[in-house]
């Protein structure tokens, strides 16, 4: 997304930049203090941003009767970009997940989870630099479920001709051509835009031959349309390039390698040699699980940024939860949210600022002096600093670069 520009006639034709309008959602739990830290860091980059700060989550339930008020959705639709702090989702009871609601309401079909090791982070894997691209709208997370004993459940059990026990609850796993094409195309486009070389499709088609089989088949046709090289040429036998996107992408992926892994084998491969992988593209459930695994390889959720992206709207947020027990303690690592801000800056065309931000974060982590407790060699290290103090250190690094 490019910066908007207008002509100021009083300046004799000189251009002046109009600020990027961005919806800022502090969240709840530790969200507000982390969001405040990230906002200060981003503002230190002197990028022209006009923040529209709106609340969502458990704190607004009494006022609006919902954790996701309509005016918040309207703001995101209008501004096209949002930076969001973590929001609590009670387990078992309480309100619907705000994250799930945002994905559905705004059709945020792609979940982007970069997992990168920065020197100074406690991790056994120093070569990790990969990206998980997760389909957000289908699969077992589509919400098509039938409770035990319901009429719909009984009908499906009857249709199964004995394959489903009568005392079962049921969840449906939809995988569509449209949804798969869209997410695999997103993965290829991301790889091309970010100098990545390998796209790995991950599923379990040896068991789920129709759903995951379709995912692989469509992914192969998309890879053919891009002109990617196949690690195993036999995968392309009998297939033609995806005709829906061929005119848009023909030949753009020459130089990219397409490969496939079964999801269980992928887990083993990631633990053994994660440095061999680049961009992983997966259906919803597998993507949810493997993205946390990959974050763990790179040092944990505290340093794992994320984004949920649609055709016209993008929401950037950390991958960790709201940690309500630490609320107001100025304790929790702000890195994941700050790096989510880095992804946001790249998305709106502020690449130079994003690069400076990443370098500043990396420098603070490498020094290891002004970092939160979870980034110290020992978690009870008395020299650990708080959320705001780590943000201050990153701001100082940014100022040193100017």
* HEC letters along 361-385: HHHHHHHCCCCCHHHCCCCCCCCCC
**pTM of the predicted model as reported, rounded to 2 decimal places:** 0.91
Say which residues have a Cβ less than 8 Å from residue 203's Cβ, sequence separation at least 6: 212, 215, 216, 260, 262, 263, 282, 283, 286
Query: Looking at 298, 315, 350, which one is the last position of a domain?
Result: 298
Residue 130 has pLDDT above 70, yes or no: yes
Whether residues 215 and 338 fall in one domain: no
Whether residues 291 and 313 fall in one domain: no
Whether residues 201 and 261 fall in one domain: yes
Whether residues 86 and 144 fall in one domain: no
Write out pLDDT tens, residues 45-96.
999 999 999 999 888 888 998 889 999 999 999 999 999 999 987 665 556 6
Whether residues 312 and 287 fall in one domain: no
Is residue 7 domain-resident? Answer: no
Query: Looking at 263, 298, 333, which one is the last position of a domain?
Result: 298
The number of domains in the chain is: 3
Write out pLDDT tens, residues 315-349.
999 999 899 999 999 999 999 999 999 999 999 99
Query: Looking at 298, 322, 341, which one is the last position of a domain?
Result: 298
DSSP letter for 192, please: H
- Give the position of tokens 């493997």: 290
Is residue 314 domain-resident? Answer: yes
Is residue 32 domain-resident? Answer: yes
Is residue 1 domain-resident? Answer: no
Cβ contact 322:87 at 8 Å:
yes
Whether residues 144 and 193 fall in one domain: no
Q: What is the model's pLDDT at position 143?
A: 85
Write out pLDDT tens, residues 214-253.
999 999 999 999 999 999 999 999 999 999 999 999 999 9
Is residue 38 domain-resident? Answer: yes
Whether residues 241 and 387 fall in one domain: no
CA distance 355 to 352: 5
Is residue 117 domain-resident? Answer: yes
- 169-173, 174-178, 379-383: range with lowest mean pLDDT: 379-383
Write out pLDDT tens, residues 7-19.
343 444 445 567 8
Q: What is the model's pLDDT at position 12?
A: 43
Is residue 11 domain-resident? Answer: no
DSSP letter for 141, please: G
CA distance 52 to 72: 10
Q: What is the model's pLDDT at position 300?
A: 93
CA distance 4 to 239: 43
Write out pLDDT tens, residues 340-388.
999 999 999 999 999 999 999 999 999 999 999 999 988 889 999 999 9
Show the domain range for 41.
17-121+304-402
Active site amino acids:
141, 204, 264, 288
**Pick from 256, 259, 269, 179: nearest CA to 215:** 179
Say which residues have a Cβ less than 8 Å from residue 90's Cβ, sequence separation at least 6: none
Q: What is the model's pLDDT at position 223?
A: 99
């Amino acid at each position: 997304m490019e910066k908007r520009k207008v002509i100021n006639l009083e300046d004799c034709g000189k251009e002046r930049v109009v600020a990027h309008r961005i919806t800022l959602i502090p969240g709840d739990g530790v969200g507000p203090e982390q969001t405040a830290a990230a906002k200060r860091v981003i503002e230190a980059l002197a990028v022209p941003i006009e923040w529209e700060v709106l609340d969502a989550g458990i704190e607004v339930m009494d006022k609006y009767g919902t954790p996701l008020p309509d005016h918040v959705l309207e703001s995101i639709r209008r501004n096209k970009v949002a930076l969001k702090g973590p929001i609590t989702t009670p387990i078992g009871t309480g309100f619907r997940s705000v994250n799930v609601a945002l994905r559905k309401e705004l059709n945020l079909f792609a979940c982007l989870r970069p997992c990168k090791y920065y020197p100074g982070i406690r991790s056994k894997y120093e070569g990790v630099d990969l990206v998980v691209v997760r389909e957000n709208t289908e699969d077992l997370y589509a919400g098509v479920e039938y409770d035990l004993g319901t009429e719909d459940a009984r009908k499906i059990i009857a249709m199964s001709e004995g394959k489903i026990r009568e005392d079962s609850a049921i969840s449906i796993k939809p995988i569509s051509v449209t949804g798969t094409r869209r997410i695999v195309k997103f993965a290829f486009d991301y790889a091309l835009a970010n100098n990545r070389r390998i796209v790995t499709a991950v599923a379990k088609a040896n068991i789920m031959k129709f759903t995951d089989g379709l995912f692989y088949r469509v992914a192969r046709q998309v890879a053919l349309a891009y002109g990617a090289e196949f690690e195993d040429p036999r995968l392309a036998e009998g297939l033609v390039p995806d005709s829906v996107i061929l005119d848009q992408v023909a030949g753009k992926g020459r130089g990219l390698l397409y490969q496939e892994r079964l999801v269980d084998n992928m887990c083993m491969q990631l633990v053994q040699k994660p440095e061999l992988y680049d961009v992983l593209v997966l259906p919803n459930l597998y993507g949810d699980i493997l993205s946390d695994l990959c974050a763990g390889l790179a040092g944990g959720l505290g340093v794992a940024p994320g984004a949920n992206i649609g055709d016209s709207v993008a929401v950037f947020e950390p991958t960790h939860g709201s940690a309500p027990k630490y609320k107001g303690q100025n304790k929790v690592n702000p890195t994941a949210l700050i790096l989510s801000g880095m992804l946001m800056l790249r998305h709106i065309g502020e690449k130079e600022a994003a690069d400076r931000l990443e370098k500043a974060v990396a420098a603070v982590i490498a020094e290891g002096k002004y970092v939160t407790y979870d980034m110290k060699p020992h978690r009870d290290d008395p020299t650990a600093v708080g959320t705001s103090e780590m943000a201050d250190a990153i701001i100082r690094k940014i100022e040193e670069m100017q």
